Amino acid sequence: DAGVTQSPTHLIKTRGQQVTLRCSPKSGHDTVSWYQQALGQGPQFIFQYYEEEERQRGNFPDRFSGHQFPNYSSELNVNALLLGDSALYLCASSPWDSPLHGYTFGSGTRLTVV
């Protein structure tokens, strides 16, 4: 049973560019959340998707947007990249009706903005 899969694993972009990161949730999970983890920090919540809608959002600018597809997979888009967007981006999945028993995380996408 595959867990949460993310692609790509590493990415280098130039300041001002746009990036799309992808996530496939664990089988049986219908909710996807995205987190940003800067070096030496804990993950910070970006947003959460369920039924193809953004349900909750953390304190991130609207340069960060997302999408969820009918098969529950999700994309995170970041526009107008800044150097400070360099981080590990983690996707987590859970069942909407029982999320509190813990989220399953992917291995992340390491984004470097130069």
Partner 1 sequence: GEDVEQSLFLSVREGDSSVINCTYTDSSSTYLYWYKQEPGAGLQLLTYIFSNMDMKQDQRLTVLLNKKDKHLSLRIADTQTGDSAIYFCAEIRDTGRRALTFGSGTRLQVQP
Binding site for partner 1 (CB under 8 A): 4, 33, 35, 40-45, 48, 56, 58, 90, 92, 94, 99-108
16 backbone φψ class: left, alpha, beta (φ>0; ψ -120 to 50): left
Please state the closest distance from residue 90 (CB atom) to partner 1, in A: 6
- Tabulate helix, strand, coil % of the chain (nearest 5): 5, 50, 45
Please state the closest distance from residue 79 (CB atom) to partner 1, in A: 23
Taking the least distance from each CB to partner 1, the nearer of 43 and 66 is 43
Tokens standing for 23? Answer: 């996530």
Taking the least distance from each CB to partner 1, the nearer of 18 and 41 is 41
